[in-house]
Amino acid sequence: MSKIPYKIYLEENEIPTQWYNVRADMKNKPAPLLNPGTLQPMTAEELEGVFCADLVAQELDNDTPYIDIPQEILDFYKMYRPSPLVRAYCLEKKLGTSAKIYYKFEGNNTSGSHKLNSAIAQAYYAKKQGLKGVTTETGAGQWGTALSMACAYFDLDCKVYMVKVSYEQKPFRREVMRTYGASVTPSPSMETEVGKKILAEHPGTTGSLGCAISEAVEKAVSTEGYRYVLGSVLNQVLLHQSIIGLETKTALDKIGEKPDIIIGCAGGGSNLGGLVSPFMGEKLRGESDYRIIAIEPSSCPSFTRGKFAYDFCDTGMVCPLAKMYTLGSGFIPAPNHAGGLRYHGMSSILSQLYHDGLMEARSYKQTEVFEAAELFARSEGILPAPESSHAIKGAIDEALKCKESGEEKTIVFGLTGTGYFDMVAYEKFHDGEMTDYVPTDEEIRAYLEKLPKTE
């Protein structure tokens, strides 16, 4: 048998032309978003005040398994997809493991992450609806960058509220966004009512995704011709990100490979949800079994230490409530360098699947994550994003377990992006100045006690 190549490519006719909606195969559907005023499920009409109409339809669709990807989006995907699936021969050798390791690399576009997969879809539907522009928040800056690229492509206005700590730590991300025509405001800001309120209550706060979401939503609903778009957490985002998993599955099928373990980092759950969707579908239908592991930072441990409950998606409590694993919408994590994983909640889809025992979760401290990042960079050549490095650490640990037991498991993980804009974090790590903040039980309990009462 010929050796499996380093990169498994797809032919033109193997590229997916439909997204896969894992909700269609879930027996226990994810709980609906609730109106924060009435605590009743949000209707399409209510959601359409905030989101584009076609995206609302996708958000509420729990039944259609496959949804056609519009031609305009397929054309854009062609610029940077299919993304490579790589056999990590060099890492395997370095570890001396009997496991086979593959990673799906989503960092091969200017925005540097998987977020572009959903950004282009959301911009497309906004344009189709005849809107002037969209507002959003960004944490580490990857989503804002992706959305500004997508908006430039469709000639839409793009207004980004960027978490203040990232705005200051990552000035280059801001300039990339401005290059693509977006306007970028550090959050919390004095531009919105909710921003003013948060600043009055927490002067000097470095912000959080939850705060920035509140500001972006307020701006969208108060400006004619604008809607709000979100880069993670929502059902529609997982749907768009299923392109990652569909390509991965096609490539693995082609070489006759079946993963035993699938690993991804989890901030709001979109890359992991996208990567695992087709595999989870088989698992839900009883066709195959896979171990699926979510990796999160110990500083923001939604799955591993949060509660499965209805909560606000934002700090300002203006957004609908989602049922999810949450640390409480008031939770502002320590300034961990994996900005994209600093969100208090988690996708409702993944939360339900985790609750039903269909996947596992694990958390790591940031210095051990950076050790894994460095090992990976030195063996596989790619400089990984801190977020992605959580998945690397998870994969390395599983591979080392195989080394001990001699098992030949096949491990697939999502390498979500590159770390070129995270060199301040790498610098801290190299200079021995990186800290490992882990919230105490009391801290977490205090936020969980403030969860909204919905029953």
Ligand X SMILES: *Cc1c(COP(=O)(O)O)cnc(C)c1O
Binding interface with ligand X (CB under 6 A):
113, 115, 140, 142-143, 232, 265-271, 340-341, 385, 387-388, 416-417
Whether 325 contacts 272, CB under 8 Å:
no
Q: Is 369 helix (H, G, I), strand (E, B) or coil?
A: helix
131 vs 230, beta carbon nearer ligand X: 230
271 vs 336, beta carbon nearer ligand X: 271
Tell me how far, at minimum, the Cβ of 312 lies from ligand X, in Å. 18
Tell me how far, at minimum, the Cβ of 419 lies from ligand X, in Å. 8
Tell me how far, at minimum, the Cβ of 392 lies from ligand X, in Å. 11
Nearest to 208 by CA among 147, 162, 254: 162
131 vs 422, beta carbon nearer ligand X: 422
Q: Determine how β-strand 133-138 pairs with β-strand 157-163.
A: parallel
Tell me how far, at minimum, the Cβ of 188 lies from ligand X, in Å. 20
Tell me how far, at minimum, the Cβ of 136 lies from ligand X, in Å. 12
Q: How far is CA 370 from CA 296, 343, 435, in A?
A: 14, 20, 11
What whole-number distance in Å separates Cα of residue 34 and Cα of residue 231? Answer: 20
131 vs 266, beta carbon nearer ligand X: 266
Whether 229 contacts 50, CB under 8 Å:
no
DSSP track, 2-42: PPPPSEE---GGGS--EEE-GGGG-SSPPPPPB-TTT-SBP
Tell me how far, at minimum, the Cβ of 341 lies from ligand X, in Å. 6
Nearest to 154 by CA among 124, 130, 125: 124
102 contacts: CB under 8 Å, gap ≥ 6: 85, 86, 87, 88, 252, 257, 259, 410, 411, 412, 413
77 vs 127, beta carbon nearer ligand X: 77
Q: Counting every residue, how long is the chain?
A: 455
97 vs 135, beta carbon nearer ligand X: 135
